[in-house]
Amino acid sequence: MNSSLSTDASWGELLHGRNALRSITLAGGVALHAINVYIATTILPSVVADIGGLKYYAWNTTMFVVASIVGSAFSAKLIESLGPRKAYLLALAVFCVGGAWCAMSQSMFSLLIGRSIQGLGGGILFALSYALIRLVFNERLWSRAMALVSGMWGVATLCGPAIGGIFAQAGLWRWAFWSLLLVAAALALIVTTQLSGKDQSAATSSTRPPFATIGLLVLSVLAISVAGLSSSLWWNLLGIAAGLAIAAIIMRIDRRATNKLLPTGAYSLNAQLGVLYAVMSLLVAGITTEIFVPYFLQVIHRMTPLWAGYLTAAMAAGWTAASLFSAGRGGAAADRMVKLGSPIVFVALVALALMTPRPALLADSAGLAAYCVALASVGLGIGLGWPHLLTRVFTAARAGEETMASSSITTIQLYATALAAALAGIVANAAGLASPGGIVGAQNAAVWLFASFALAPALAVLLLRRLAPSTTEAV
């Protein structure tokens, strides 16, 4: 029924009249969240130069993403309790409070508090934008609305570095945060007229989110992040061990829980779903290295914030382009895309480890072009297989757990990003990012960061051998 209905839908219907304003509302929430991610990545070297806190560099991503996990977990309950309009306005308000806090921060500790508040609001916005598609649009428009909302990440790769780079080059990084508040205010005006204020609990699940499990997820990431502040290798290893131990506890609890965070088979490499989640997490880890790219480019290669921001965005652009290219493939062709992606990410990360520390390389046009290809290839390798990995998550889920499997994709991606960011902070700091710091510290950190994280897609290559062909995949 769904497929026949969707064939009658058109972009014109989705983007006309009241549907157009509703589309702006939902797509705007994801755009605000995504653009903020790229703005923060672009301006962070300028922020550190102004208020210090270089050893907390990775924490800006870690805290934002961890808070986003918490926020996304609350989204369904907020719709149920407040209705779509109030839930959305609350998310915007929280996001704005976080943005204002960041803009006024005079220390890295204060900035991290602001980033956490931003992440909480952004996580709610991110999840609401997808959840509300079912409530505000006719069923036959769902697939196009989903594509529109997802496409906002591509828009973010264009807008985020530009906004962040312009303000950073002008020495006005704080105004990058203020500028998003104006966008949020405009979005709030549309929300008040286009989303219903009625209770929609009948259309949403009343299941209580697994707060204990989510709390342990946060704790596992923070254990690794805190250990990364120490210059002692033993403390670093202890923090990683503690984080992994907490993750093992999460698996044990969630397997037995009535109200699960992840569907059956998620924690076993003997199950197709477990292999899929593991491969997705390892690929996400590879692209998380992008959080340090603007710093490396500005410190080692003396690039402006604007140029550094756009080169970094090449990773996300490669992901988007490859996903669009690969999405229409099926059967054996889809299998080849999945298997081809991980080796590409591995080669690209090794290339970045070799090229990033060499100041003279990017001064040459051929070297700069090769570097751009390497950056884009990290995202391209992920994008080739990503649509098919997500599709397989749906088909690999146990009957009756398909909805849980689809909602778990966001949780897996956010948790993998937060965990990888925490580990990246440990590697970069241990390699000398903050001490000795400067160009030498950045060069050492670049080599160790890209080289060590190249192990993630290499491991994904091995795990993919456990993945059954799509035509015979077990459910």
Residues 245-262: pLDDT tens digits?
Answer: 999 999 999 888 887 888
Pick the last residue of a domain from 224, 258, 292. 258
> Which of 198-212, 371-385, 445-459 is predicted least confidently?
198-212
Whether the pLDDT of residue 446 is over 90: the answer is: yes
Per residue in 103-142, is it b (16+ CB within 10 Å) or e — as a string? bebeebeebbbbbbbbbbbbbbbbbbbbbbbeebbeebbb
Q: How many domains does the chain have?
A: 3
> Which of 4-18, 127-141, 272-286 is predicted least confidently?
4-18
Q: Under DSSP, is residue 133 helix (H, G, I), strand (E, B) or coil?
A: helix
Q: Locate tokens 């051929």: which residue? A: 366
Is the domain of 191 the same as that of 229? no
pLDDT category, 135, cuts 50, 70, 90? confident
Type of residue numbered 113: I
Pick the last residue of a domain from 208, 225, 243. 208
Is the domain of 221 the same as that of 232? yes
| Arithmetic mean of pLDDT, 58-78 | 88
pTM of the model: 0.85
Instruction: Supply the pLDDT for residue 40.
Output: 94
Instruction: Supply the pLDDT for residue 442.
Output: 96
Q: Under DSSP, is residue 15 helix (H, G, I), strand (E, B) or coil?
A: coil
Whether the pLDDT of residue 143 is over 80: the answer is: no
Q: How far is CA 384 from CA 95, 143, 154, 273, 344, in A?
A: 33, 20, 16, 19, 10
Pick the last residue of a domain from 208, 231, 248. 208
The Cα–Cα gap between 242 and 77 comes to 31
Secondary structure percentages of the chain, helix, strand, coil, to 5: 80, 0, 20
Is the domain of 176 the same as that of 309? no
Is the domain of 269 the same as that of 195? no
Mean pLDDT, the chain, integer = 87
- The DSSP H or E segment spanning 466 is none
Is the domain of 231 the same as that of 159? no
What is the tens place of the pLDDT at every residue in 196-248? 766 444 444 455 778 888 899 999 999 998 888 887 888 888 999 999 999 99
The Cα–Cα gap between 135 and 196 comes to 9
The Cα–Cα gap between 446 and 294 comes to 11
Is the domain of 102 the same as that of 239? no
Is the domain of 197 the same as that of 160? yes
| Arithmetic mean of pLDDT, 47-76 | 91
The percent of residues above 90 in pLDDT, for the chain, comes to 54
Instruction: Supply the pLDDT for residue 461.
Output: 95
What is the tens place of the pLDDT at every residue in 399-422? 878 767 766 787 888 899 999 999
The percent of residues above 70 in pLDDT, for the chain, comes to 93
Is the domain of 64 the same as that of 202? yes
Instruction: Supply the pLDDT for residue 352.
Output: 98
Is the domain of 307 the same as that of 395? yes
Is the domain of 409 the same as that of 458? yes
Whether the pLDDT of residue 428 is over 80: the answer is: yes
Three-state SS sequence of 360-414: CHHHCHHHHHHHHHHHHHHHHHHHHHHHHHHHHHHHHCCCCCHHHHHHHHHHHHH
The one-character DSSP state at 284 is H
Is the domain of 167 the same as that of 90? yes
What is the tens place of the pLDDT at every residue in 24-49? 888 888 889 889 999 999 999 999 99
Report yes or no: 197 and 108 within 8 Å, Cβ to Cβ.
no
> Which of 11-15, 97-101, 174-178, 353-357 is predicted least confidently?
11-15
Whether the pLDDT of residue 6 is over 80: the answer is: no
Report yes or no: 40 and 100 within 8 Å, Cβ to Cβ.
no
Size of the chain, expressed as the number of residues it contains:
475
Residue-range definition of the domain harbouring residue 365: 263-475
Is the domain of 238 the same as that of 184? no
User: What CATH number corresponds to the domain at position 343?
Assistant: 1.20.1250.20
Instruction: Supply the pLDDT for residue 149.
Output: 79
